[in-house]
Structure 1
Amino acid sequence: MNHSAAGAEDAVRPPGTGAGAERGARRDDRWLDALMNVAFLTLLCGALLRYVLNHPDSPRLPWVTGLAAALAVLQLAGPRLTPLLSRTRPRRAELLRFGLTVGCWVVVVLLAPSFAWCAVPLIYTALRSLPERAALALVAVLSALVVYAEWQLRTGVDPNLFLLPPTVAALATGVFLYMRRQADRLRALVDDLIRTRRELAATERREGTLAERQRLSMEIHDTLAQSLSSQQMLLQAAERTWDSDPATARGHTRTAESIAERSLAEARRFVHDLAPADLAEGGGLAQALRALAGRESDGALRVRVLVDGAPAAPLPARVQSELLRIAQGALANVREHAAASLATITLTHLGDQVLLDVADDGRGFPAADPPADGPAPAPSPTPSPGMRGHGIAAMRARTGRLGGVLTIESTPGEGTVVSAAIPLDQPLERK
């Protein structure tokens, strides 16, 4: 797994479910196995010592001693015996070893009832190793054998001989099953949490991808696409006047070459996600707007820039970049749709906000300000600025990311004003 994939996996993994938790679980299993071994051997040695002391001359002593030794070997050497029983099916081999242990215990209890309480560790092993129904059945059999052994060892009438073993077995079984079911529920909750967090992470990645695609489409529309459109118009004009007015045609060609050079710089900075080329040259937003106006001005359209007031502090780089893009998009709409002769860019600093207005004296349009959401108005014979392509949508999105408001005012025959108001006293939305 590479580092990025591992990092993504860690991002959706709840605390306590990683490799450290797995190591902790294995350590707890080893600790419990050691405890079961110590308890079993302690009870086994105590029962054997009791039998030897009470029946030193019994003919069963060699058998009892041998079975006790076999039980000790099966319990202690279990992990080493399992591969010998079956290398291909370790689960079946483990069950076979446990079956041999239970079988030896049953025989030794029938020979020497004092070994009965060695069943307690066997009950826990059965509950851990067997399916629930099989474990319950085995616990019932072991409890019955313990009752039988206690009856054989009785010295008088005692109801506890019949009540104590099944009560202890039932209590131990109930606690164990309750804890295991609680653990299963917790594991299911953890799995659900992991799945939910992975789905949430996937959703966030998809939303981030869509947002980035929208940002890229707006950047391309406001920079490269507009530049290519201008170059196309200039080259077409040059082709039309090449024979009749070579000087004008060469001027169009030089202008197209300048725009292409500028577009190349924009493309390089766009790839590196840097500020627009005009801003990167220094001078701030006002100077970048003047450079934009100079490039957009020609014989058909004159663009001027007015600056009102001065910022109390330098504008954030992101605000400058987005306002410059909004101005580029508005001028592109003026050139494409408005048939205007004059466009005015006004930058106004009001202390707690900055305003950018792009006004033209073009044809205007009768429709109200296009809504931010919902279907676009029906097309009119004289298209309004931004009603085609990404123009208005891109400007609205840029203004919204800055926490501002975009308004459009227009009257047929009297031009259009696009205004962006950006507050400067609130955090900017993340990209």
Structure 2
Amino acid sequence: MTDNAQVNGDRVLGVIMHAAFLLLVAASLARFALRHPESARTPVIVVLSVAVAGVYALGARRGRVGWLAVVVTLWIVLVALAPSFAWCAVPLLYTGLRILPLRTALILVAVLTAFVAGAQIRLAGWADPAVLVTLPTVVVLATTVFVHMRRQSDHQRVLIEDLIRTRRELAATERREGTLAERERLAMEIHDTLAQGLSSQRMLLQAADRIWDTEPARAHEHVRSAESIAEQNLTEARQFVRDLAPADLAAHGSLAAALGALAERESAGALAVRFQMDGEPPRLPERVEATLLRIAQGALANVREHARARTATLTLTGLGDQVVLDIADDGQGFDIAALPENTGRGYGLAAIRARLQQFGGALTVESTPGEGTVLSAAIPWGEA
């Protein structure tokens, strides 16, 4: 946000300087024409004025060094012929400070100041102390303030970049720590339940195998015990699957609340996300709600990584026979016809379609380059 404000501020300053230069050229030409209506130099002055204004206007947006050199050269010729054009140097001074290296810019400032002072002395006819003292003092003061502000701005930008990088590194570290903690928890749960059960089954089946011929009744008892343990382990495994559902659903109790929390959480950065609900979707099975929430998370991840969008909207709609989740963004969009069927990304369109097909659902994609994208994930109520 601060970088954008700085860029916008530089752009506004540039527009003001460009407009001021063109206005000063026009005013200087008018002044020369009024004071020297019958001068033989008038045609040359008019041609040079149009030339310097045209060159300036054509290259103002790019602001390259060569362009500035041509403009300054034309201006010097104009000032030599007509001192009235001297004050056009003010926008050139600030333009040089903006686009040139500092040392080169300071040389340009000295050259411009010398020509302005010479022009004013020519107009006054004698060495005016205001020109010899006041003019250089004002130029030095203005240049010092400008350079100081630019250095402060550069320093602030570096600090902001360091802060953003530190926040990203901290977020990545937290994600890694969270992943490691979850893996450790699952490892402990599996060791204490499924692994222990499988070990017991193996021991019971081995014991049954050793006494199968000599003590068949006891061997059958071992097999039945192993079967009971296997059933218990299957129950534990199903419980693990249920526990791996998105934490937002467990924390917020409903898909709508979880999507609202997701939108609020994703809006912490440059992307603004909002959630809205159209109608009253029914209470869906937990697996369906988990799927829709995962789709929303994946779609927002794609928006943040690829779309270059400023806003995104999650819309949950309950229709007569289906529930629909729309994810819309105002990003750069893409050509659907040129999109490969499988991008290879975990949250790609192919993965979203695969999630929906488990419940008889379908994905619709609408996008145009430069006009954003809308993903619509629909799941029939009956199939759900």
Question: 2:181 maps to which residue?
Answer: 211
CA distance in 2, matches of 1:263, 1:111: 98
| CA shift for structure 1 position 157 | 4.8
CA deviation vs aligned residue, 1:203-226 (integer Å, no higher than 9, x gap): 112211221121011011110111
Question: 1:119 maps to which residue?
Answer: 89
Question: 1:56 maps to which residue?
Answer: 37
**What SS does the corresponding residue of 2:37 show, helix, strand or coil?**
coil
CA deviation vs aligned residue, 1:321-354 (integer Å, no higher than 9, x gap): xxxxxxxxxxxxxxxxxxxxxxxxxxxxxxxxxx
Using the size of structure 2 for normalisation, the TM-score is 0.60
Taking the TM superposition and a 5 Å limit, the aligned residue runs for 1:269-308 are 269-273=239-243
CA distance in 1, matches of 2:119, 2:189: 87
| CA shift for structure 1 position 79 | 5.0
Matched, 1:72 2:53: yes
| CA shift for structure 1 position 239 | 2.1
Question: 1:196 maps to which residue?
Answer: 166
Match of 1:134 among 101, 104, 112: 104
**What SS does the corresponding residue of 2:124 show, helix, strand or coil?**
coil
Matched, 1:39 2:17: no
Amino acid paired to 1:248: R
Amino acid paired to 2:103: R
Matched, 1:177 2:158: no
CA distance in 1, matches of 2:11, 2:177: 46
CA deviation vs aligned residue, 1:281-320 (integer Å, no higher than 9, x gap): xxxxxxxxxxxxxxxxxxxxxxxxxxxxxxxxxxxxxxxx
Question: 1:385 maps to which residue?
Answer: none
CA distance in 2, matches of 1:111, 1:255: 110
Amino acid paired to 1:239: D
Taking the TM superposition and a 5 Å limit, the aligned residue runs for 1:385-424 are none
Judge which range, 43-52 or 100-109, deviates more. Answer: 43-52
Question: 2:210 maps to which residue?
Answer: 240
CA deviation vs aligned residue, 1:349-394 (integer Å, no higher than 9, x gap): xxxxxxxxxxxxxxxxxxxxxxxxxxxxxxxxxxxxxxxxxxxxxx
Matched, 1:163 2:133: yes
Amino acid paired to 1:73: G
**What SS does the corresponding residue of 1:243 show, helix, strand or coil?**
coil
CA distance in 2, matches of 1:195, 1:186: 14
CA deviation vs aligned residue, 1:393-426 (integer Å, no higher than 9, x gap): xxxxxxxxxxxxxxxxxxxxxxxxxxxxxxxxxx
| CA shift for structure 1 position 160 | 0.8
**What SS does the corresponding residue of 1:163 show, helix, strand or coil?**
helix
Matched, 1:256 2:226: yes
CA deviation vs aligned residue, 1:177-233 (integer Å, no higher than 9, x gap): 111111110111011111111211121122112211210110111101110121122
CA distance in 1, matches of 2:212, 2:163: 70
CA deviation vs aligned residue, 1:32-90 (integer Å, no higher than 9, x gap): 2321122112222222222112222222111111111112112223258x6xxxxxxxx
CA distance in 2, matches of 1:79, 1:98: 9
**What SS does the corresponding residue of 2:149 show, helix, strand or coil?**
helix
CA distance in 2, matches of 1:29, 1:189: 19
CA distance in 2, matches of 1:36, 1:69: 18
| CA shift for structure 1 position 155 | 4.7
CA distance in 1, matches of 2:7, 2:75: 28
| CA shift for structure 1 position 120 | 0.2
Larger Rg: 1
Using the size of structure 1 for normalisation, the TM-score is 0.54
CA distance in 2, matches of 1:134, 1:149: 23
**How many matched pairs?**
245
Question: 1:231 maps to which residue?
Answer: 201
Amino acid paired to 1:259: I
Match of 2:157 among 177, 182, 187: 187
Structure 1, unaligned stretches of length 5 or more?
Answer: 1-15, 83-90, 276-431
Amino acid paired to 1:210: L
Match of 1:28 among 2, 5, 9: 9
The alignment's C-alpha RMSD in Å is 2.0
Question: 1:152 maps to which residue?
Answer: 122
Amino acid paired to 1:165: L
Amino acid paired to 1:56: P
Structure 2, unaligned stretches of length 5 or more?
Answer: 246-384
